[in-house]
């Protein structure tokens, strides 16, 4: 029986831009396949990490066996070129598709077609909460106060 692979995202800090290759090598050695690489950029650290004030931040998406992630985490912690890293499992979000294709899963009873989409957590939107204000005259206000005080 074939093991099911899971998709992950890793964010990392490295000393030099070339050290990103070290991460790719470790991933491939552990049997993971890289799906996509993000851009790498130099940042100033808020505090020193391994005597470094600056580092290169990057992220990658990869897939592989969930049981191998713990060993990957241990190896990345001991690597001198990787200052910090964080591995997260990517959530699977169902979305409605307008065009029907054979590869999509179809819900025949409702006629809706859904496909699995892997993406980052859904965006949080800010909404303005407006309190309900009821305008009362002084007489009505006094009556309400009397009712409360009884």
| Residue-wise pLDDT tens digits, 1-49 | 456 788 999 999 999 999 898 899 999 999 999 998 888 999 999 999 9
State both tokens at 135: 């305008």
State both tokens at 92: 């699977």
- Residue boundaries of the structural domains of the chain: 6-90, 91-123
CA separation for the pair 70, 68 (Å, rounded): 6
| Residue-wise pLDDT tens digits, 79-132 | 899 999 999 987 655 455 555 454 444 444 454 544 554 455 555 666 666 777
Would you identify the CATH topology of the domain 6-90? Alpha-Beta Plaits (3.30.70)
Single pTM value for the model:
0.57
Element containing residue 9 per DSSP (H, E): strand 6-14
Q: What is the pLDDT of residue 107?
A: 46
Going by the DSSP 8-state scheme, the letter that residue 4 receives in this structure is: P
Q: Could you tell me which of 31, 35, 91, 92 has the C-alpha nearest to residue 59?
A: 35
| Residue-wise pLDDT tens digits, 134-145 | 777 889 889 988
| Residue-wise pLDDT tens digits, 99-113 | 545 444 444 445 454
Bigger pLDDT: 111 vs 68: 68
CA separation for the pair 14, 54 (Å, rounded): 9
């Amino acid at each position: 029986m074939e093991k099911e692979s899971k998709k992950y995202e890793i964010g990392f800090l490295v000393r030099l831009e070339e050290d990103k290759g070290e991460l790719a090598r470790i991933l491939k050695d552990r049997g993971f396949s890289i799906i996509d690489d993000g851009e790498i950029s130099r940042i100033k650290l808020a505090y020193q990490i391994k005597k470094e004030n600056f580092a290169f931040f990057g992220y990658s998406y990869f897939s592989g066996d969930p049981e191998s992630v713990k060993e990957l985490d241990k190896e990345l912690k001991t690597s001198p070129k990787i200052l910090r890293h964080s591995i997260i499992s990517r959530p699977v979000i169902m979305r409605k598709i307008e065009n029907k294709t054979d590869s999509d899963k179809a819900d025949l009873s409702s006629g809706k077609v859904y496909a699995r989409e892997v993406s980052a957590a859904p965006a949080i939107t800010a909404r303005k909460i407006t309190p309900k204000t009821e305008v009362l005259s002084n007489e009505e206000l006094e009556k309400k106060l009397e009712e409360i005080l009884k």
